[in-house]
Structure 1
Amino acid sequence: MRSDGRRRTGFRRMTRTAAAVATLVVSSACAIVPTGGIPESVSEVNKGDPLMQPFTRLIPTPPRDDWDPEAVVRGFQAAMASNDDQGRAVARQYLTKEAARVWRSEDGVSVVASADFESAPFSEDAKETRVTLKSAKRAIIDDDGRYRTVKGESSWTATLVKVGKVWRIASVPNGLIITEADVQRAYRPVNLYFLDQVGRGLVVDQVRLPVAPDGDFAKTVVQRLLQGPSGSLKDAAITALPDHVRVNSVTTMGDTVVVDLSEQVRGGDPLYAQLQWTLHDLAKDWTIELRANGEPFSGAGLRIAPNDFADFDRLLHPGTDIAGYYLHDGALHMLGSDGNGTPVAGPVWYGGAGRKQLLYTEPALSMDQEPRVAAKSSQGGIWVTSLVEGGRWQQWIAGSDLTAPSWDRYSALWAVDRVGEATSHVLRHDGGRTRRIQAPGLLHTTVKAFQVARDGVRVAAVVEDSTGVHVRLGAIVGQGDDIRVDHLQTLTDAKPGEILDIAWKDSTTLLVLLKTKAGKRLDAYSVGDGGRTQLKADERLHTIAALGDRMLAGTEKHGGILRFDAGKSEWITVAKQGAGFPVFPLG
C-alpha cells in the first residue's frame, strides 16, 4: 500500500507521459512528426500566403502498458486536447471497450486553468482506482464556437480498472476537458460578421475555432460563417449566405483569395460585406474571388476588391466626425476636435425661477439625418425633441421610475420602467407608439441601467436581484410585434452600490465604471469571451461615455466634463463647473 496518501502534481511534471504527445509548429498540411520521445518544436516560414499561418500541432500517442493510473489519465487528457485526431480515436485507446463505445467526445469543451491531478491511494493488487483533475474553471466552448467564461472549481474524475496487466479508463465524463494553454495552442479567436434584422448593418459574432491539422483555417472560418450566428445571437442576427452551400476550398492565386463554393450564390452587398469583413484578419488588402466548383461565377465573375465594403457599416469603426456632447449652463454642447465645447441650437433644458432648474437630464442622441435628443424629465417620463432652434419637447415614454433613455440604430427609443420592487418592464417607442417588450430575464429584477449597443442587436443591463448586482448581456430578437430581449447571460458581478455606470465602447466591448474600496475602476469587457481589461481610471469619474477609442466622463454633482487623452494616458478637464451628462450618439 502507498503511504503517501493522495498525490497532487502539476501538468508540466510529465514523468511517464513525456512520450504521450509530440508538438510541431507548422504552416502547412505537410509535416512528419515523431510519435514518441521528447516533444519537438519546428518552425516553418510563412512565404507570403496570408491563409497559411504558423500554428502548433500536438500529436497524441497511444498509452503504454507500463503507465500507472495517473499517467494514463494524463495521456488521455493530452489526447483530448489534440486537433490532429479530430475523431479522438487515439484518446479512445485509453478507455475500456465499453467506455470507448459510450463516451461522447462531442458533448462540449470545458476549459480549466491547468491540469492538476489527484490520485486516490491504491494497493499493488488493486483492480480499480480513481484519478481526479482539480482546477479552476475558466470557460465552456460550445459547439458553435461561443466561448463562455465560467467561475468555480472543476472536479473531473476518471475511474480506471485493470484490464489484464494494464490500466484503462472505465468511466469518464462526456465532452473534452482542456487547459487554457491548450486553447491558446489549438484554437483561434475569430470575428464572424452577420447582419442585423434589416440587413443594413453588420453584427460581430466572436467565436473560438479549432485549428485543423491540415492548416486550412480560412476554410474553417468560411464554413463556420455558413452555419449562421452562435447561440448568443440566435434569431437576433441573420446571414445573406445560404445554409445549404458548402465550402470546397479557400486558396490563394496571385494576389487573390479564391473561395470555392459548391454552387453560385447571389446576395448582393450584404453578403459580400459579410465575407470581406470575416476574412479581413486573414487576408487584409487581398481581393476575394468567389467560384463555384472551381469555375468563375457566370457573367463577369464575382471579385471583391480590397476595402470595397469598408464603409458598409460606418458604426463598426466610427470616425472622429461623430462628436461627443454634454450639458452645460442650460444648453447642449458639442465637443469639437480642439477640445472646446460649442452650444448646439435646440430646445430649452432649464426652467423655473431664473431659469436655473434643470428640467431635462441624462440625454441620449439618435443618429438620424436630423438628430433627435431624448432625456428624462423632472415632470416624469422620457421626452424627445429635434436639435433645431425652438425645438419642442414631446413625451414618448411614460413612467415614474425610468432608466436613462437609449436609442437604437433604427431610431427606436428604449428604457426600462421599474414598476415595483424587483419588477422591471422594458419599453420601446418606435416613433409612433410605446410598447412593452418581453424580457423574461429582466422582469423579476430591478434594472439600474439599460443600453442598446450601436449594432442595434446587443443590449447591456445593470440589474439587482436576490443574489446581488450583475451586469448582463442579451440580444434583441425578432422584428415588429415579435421583438423580445433574450439570451441574457451574466458578464460580471458586483456589490451593491459599486457600479456607477456602463457604456458601449463598440458593439463588442462594454465599459463598466465602478467605485470600490480600493477606489474608482474602469473595466473594458469583451462580450465575446468575457475577458476584462482594466483601463486608466480617475477618482473624479462618476459617469462614462465612449465611442471607439474616445472616452468622456462626468464628475459628481455636475462638477465638470473630462476627456481621456490617450497620448498622455490621463483624464483632462474640457468643461468645468455646471457641466455634466456626457454622451455620444447611440451611446
Structure 2
Amino acid sequence: MTRTRRRRRLGVVLAVVAATVLAGSGCSVIQVTGPYTVNDNQGGGDPLNKPFQRMIAIAPQPGWGPEDTIRGLQAAMAAYADDPSVLAGYLTPEARAKWTAAGPVTVIQDAYEVAVPPPRESETTVKVSLKGHYVALINEDDSYKPTAGPWERPFELVKMPEGYRVSNLPQGLLLTESDVARAYRPTNLYYVNRSTQDRLVVDRVRLRLKTTETFAQTVLERLLQPPTEALRGAVTSSFPAGTKIESIRSGEDRVIISLSGPLSSLDLTATTTLTGQIRNSLSTNEIAKGRTIEIVVDGETYTTDRPDSDDRWLDDDVGDSAYYVSKGAVHYLTKEGRGGAVAGAAGEQRDGYDHFAVSAGPNPLIAARTSTGISVAGIAPEGVWQEVIRGDDLTPPTWNRDGSLWTYDGKNGVLLKYDPSRNRVEPVEVPEELDKLDVNQFRIARDGVRVAVTTGEETVQIGALTGEGAGTKLGNLQFLTTTDTGNEIRDIAWRDDEHLLVLVEGTAGQTLNEINVGDGETTGVPLKDRLQSVAAFKDQVLAEVATDNGNKLMVLNQDQQTWTAKIDSDAGTPLFPLG
C-alpha cells in the first residue's frame, strides 16, 4: 500500500466533533471529516462549561491491514470514555475478556510509527510494534506526570474472516498529546493545610471533560474525593464523608450549588472553609468567576458567597518585604533600590554568616548558617544572634509559615525542626531513601505543606509535610526534574505555592526554569548575566549577579523576559519571607 493511499484511508478511521456540554440536555454535535478546532473562549454563554472536541472512532473495517487496525485501535482508545463499545470490536474475544482500561493513561507524542513486518503468505498471526516517545502518565488519581524518552509497545494481531483483531492488548489506555489536549483540562483543586488549618493548598490534576455533565460538576465531584498522592496526609477537606452534589445551576449573576449530606451551618469555620474550597476550585479554573455562589443543602440555603467577599484562604499574609545582604549584613530593599540595614545584630557586618532566611509575620526573625550551626536573630535593636541548631553539615535554613525553622543534617541523616516558642529542636521522620542521598537544599513552600529537596547536584524532588503536631513527617517524595550529568543545580526558590524556580549551571551556561510542581509544566526564563542566587515572591523575582565591582542585584521585569539592575554594587543574596 502506498503512503498516499494509507493517509487517505486513515482519514476515515476517526472523526472529531465539537461538543459543548449543555446542562441537562446532553451535547450539541457538529460532525466533520477531520480535526475541528474549537476556541476555548467559545463557551456558548454557559459559565459552568468548557467547550471541547469529542472523538468519535469507527469500528475496524474488513479491508484494513495491521497498521490501519492499530491506528484505529488507538483512536478507539481516545474515544473510550465516551463510547467503550468501539474498542471492544478491535479485540478478539479472549483479549476482550482480559483487557481493562484501569491503570495509568500513557500519553505519547502525536507522531508515532507502527512497525509491520513484511507479509507472508498464509500467515494468520502478525506481531507489530508501535513506536513513539513518552510525554506523560495520567495516574488514576488524575495527577499528570511528565516523562521522556523512547516508547515502544508490541501488539499481536490475528487475521479473522471479518479482518484483523488484536489478540493481546496491554492494560490501560494509550493516548496521544492531541487526544489529551482535546479531552482533558489542567485543573486546580483546593484542599486545606492539615497542620495550620489557615491556608488552602493547590492540587493540580488533569480532568477529562464529559458529555454527560458540566465541567463545574466534574470539578466539584473530583473535589469531594481525596487529593492526589502528592498531598495525601498533608491536607484535609471541609466536606464531610457522605456529601453529594445534587445539582449545579447558573442564573444571570450567580451559581447555585445544591448539596446533600451531613453539613452543619452551625460550624462557621467549616462553612467558610468549604466555601473557600468551592470558590477557588471553580474560579481559578475560569468557571463561575466573578459570580455569586449560593450553596443549598437539602433544599435550604447553607451559605452565600459574593465575589467581593474577603477570601483569606489564598492570601500570602507572610508579607512581601524584600531584603538583600551587603558585606554580611541584612538590608531592607526599597522601591528605589538600596535600603538601610535591619535593626539588631542581623544588620551588622560580620564574617562567617551566610545563607540567610527570613520568617513571616509582623516581627520576623532572621536565620543564618555558620560553620557550627544555624543561628537566629530578631529584627529589633535588642536582637542578637543565638545558635539554635548545632551541626557542621546542615542545609541552608528554611522557615515554615507556622514559625518553625528547618534544616537537614546531612552528617547524621536527620531532618531538624526548631520551635522558637519553646526554644526546642526536634527530629522529623523522613523517607528511608533520603538517608542514602546527598541532600543539599531543603525549602518549604509558603503554603506550609510542599517541600522542595535537591539531592546530589542534579536532582530536585518534591515532597510534603504530612501529619500534624508531633506526628509531622516528610513524605510523598517524587522527582520533579533532573539535569544532565555534569550540570549543577545552583539554587532553587519558591515563587508561589505552585511554581519553583530552578537555577542550573552547566558547561554551556546557565538556565533558569519555572516549574509547575503539580504537573511539571516548565517555562524558561531568559538570562543575560550569570546568576549567583535567586529569590521570588509571586510577580517579584530577584537575582544576585557577580561583577568586578562586587555583586549587584537584578530584578526580572514584568515581561518575564528582561532584567534590570536594582542595585549596581555591594548587594548580595536577595531574600523574601519564607520560600
Please tell me whether the aligned partners of residues 14 and 75 of structure 2 are also in contact (alpha carbons under 8 angstroms): yes
1:124 positional shift: 4.2
1:486 positional shift: 1.2
Instruction: List per-residue Cα deviations over 1:497-553 (Å, max 9, x = no partner).
Output: 521111001111110112222222111111111121110223231100000111111
Please tell me whether the aligned partners of residues 57 and 84 of structure 1 are also in contact (alpha carbons under 8 angstroms): no
1:170 positional shift: 0.7
Distance of 1:577 and 1:586 partners within structure 2: 25
Between 334-343 and 152-161, the greater mean CA deviation after superposition: 334-343
Please tell me whether the aligned partners of residues 109 and 140 of structure 1 are also in contact (alpha carbons under 8 angstroms): yes
User: Partner residue of 1:381?
Assistant: 373
Q: Does 1:250 align with 2:253?
A: no
* CA distance 1:55–1:376, shift in 2 (3 Å): same
Q: Does 1:182 align with 2:179?
A: yes
| Superposition RMSD in Å | 2.4
Distance of 1:124 and 1:207 partners within structure 2: 49
User: Partner residue of 1:437?
Assistant: 428
Between 135-144 and 552-561, the greater mean CA deviation after superposition: 552-561
Q: Does 1:296 align with 2:296?
A: no
User: Partner residue of 2:292?
Assistant: 287
Please tell me whether the aligned partners of residues 227 and 243 of structure 1 are also in contact (alpha carbons under 8 angstroms): no
Distance of 2:445 and 2:38 partners within structure 1: 42
Residue type matched to 1:19 in 2? V
User: Partner residue of 1:78?
Assistant: 75
Distance of 1:371 and 1:42 partners within structure 2: 52
1:84 positional shift: 5.2
User: Partner residue of 1:113?
Assistant: 109
Corresponding residue SS for 1:279:
helix
* CA distance 1:519–1:366, shift in 2 (3 Å): same
User: Partner residue of 2:362?
Assistant: 369
Corresponding residue SS for 1:181:
helix
Corresponding residue SS for 2:96:
helix
Residue type matched to 1:331 in 2? A
Q: Does 1:16 align with 2:20?
A: no
1:218 positional shift: 1.0
1:443 positional shift: 1.3
Corresponding residue SS for 2:273:
helix
Distance of 2:281 and 2:162 partners within structure 1: 52
1:71-220 counterparts in 2 under 5 A? 71-82=68-79, 85=82, 88-114=84-110, 115-197=112-194, 198-214=196-212, 216-220=214-218
1:165 positional shift: 4.3
Residue type matched to 2:382 in 1? G
User: Partner residue of 1:270?
Assistant: 273
User: Partner residue of 2:530?
Assistant: 540
Number of equivalences:
558
Distance of 1:304 and 1:368 partners within structure 2: 28
Residue type matched to 1:259 in 2? I
* CA distance 1:425–1:175, shift in 2 (3 Å): same
Instruction: List per-residue Cα deviations over 1:411-454 (Å, max 9, x = no partner).
Output: 1111111207xxx3221112232122222232111111110111
2:575 to 555, 580, 583: 583
* CA distance 1:416–1:84, shift in 2 (3 Å): closer
Residue type matched to 1:444 in 2? K
Residue type matched to 1:555 in 2? V
Residue type matched to 1:92 in 2? A
Distance of 1:361 and 1:41 partners within structure 2: 57
User: Partner residue of 1:458?
Assistant: 450
Residue type matched to 2:472 in 1? I
User: Partner residue of 1:353?
Assistant: none
1:314 positional shift: 1.1
Please tell me whether the aligned partners of residues 159 and 165 of structure 2 are also in contact (alpha carbons under 8 angstroms): yes
1:487 positional shift: 1.3
User: Partner residue of 2:500?
Assistant: 510
Distance of 2:16 and 2:394 partners within structure 1: 57
User: Partner residue of 1:314?
Assistant: 315
Distance of 1:341 and 1:572 partners within structure 2: 17
Distance of 2:202 and 2:172 partners within structure 1: 27
Please tell me whether the aligned partners of residues 503 and 545 of structure 1 are also in contact (alpha carbons under 8 angstroms): yes
Distance of 1:98 and 1:541 partners within structure 2: 60
1:314-463 counterparts in 2 under 5 A? 314-315=315-316, 322-348=320-346, 357-378=350-371, 380-419=372-411, 424-431=413-420, 432=422, 433-440=424-431, 441-463=433-455
Please tell me whether the aligned partners of residues 200 and 313 of structure 1 are also in contact (alpha carbons under 8 angstroms): no
Between 514-523 and 282-291, the greater mean CA deviation after superposition: 514-523
Please tell me whether the aligned partners of residues 346 and 366 of structure 2 are also in contact (alpha carbons under 8 angstroms): no
User: Partner residue of 2:471?
Assistant: 482
Residue type matched to 1:462 in 2? T
Please tell me whether the aligned partners of residues 520 and 538 of structure 1 are also in contact (alpha carbons under 8 angstroms): no
Distance of 2:559 and 2:176 partners within structure 1: 37
Residue type matched to 1:80 in 2? M
1:80 positional shift: 0.6
* CA distance 1:263–1:480, shift in 2 (3 Å): closer
Between 496-505 and 545-554, the greater mean CA deviation after superposition: 496-505
TM-score of the superposition, structure 2-length normalised?
A: 0.91
Please tell me whether the aligned partners of residues 228 and 243 of structure 1 are also in contact (alpha carbons under 8 angstroms): no
Identical columns (%): 34
TM-score of the superposition, structure 1-length normalised?
A: 0.89
1:33 positional shift: 5.4
Please tell me whether the aligned partners of residues 255 and 294 of structure 2 are also in contact (alpha carbons under 8 angstroms): yes
Residue type matched to 1:550 in 2? Q
* CA distance 1:553–1:308, shift in 2 (3 Å): same
Residue type matched to 1:213 in 2? T
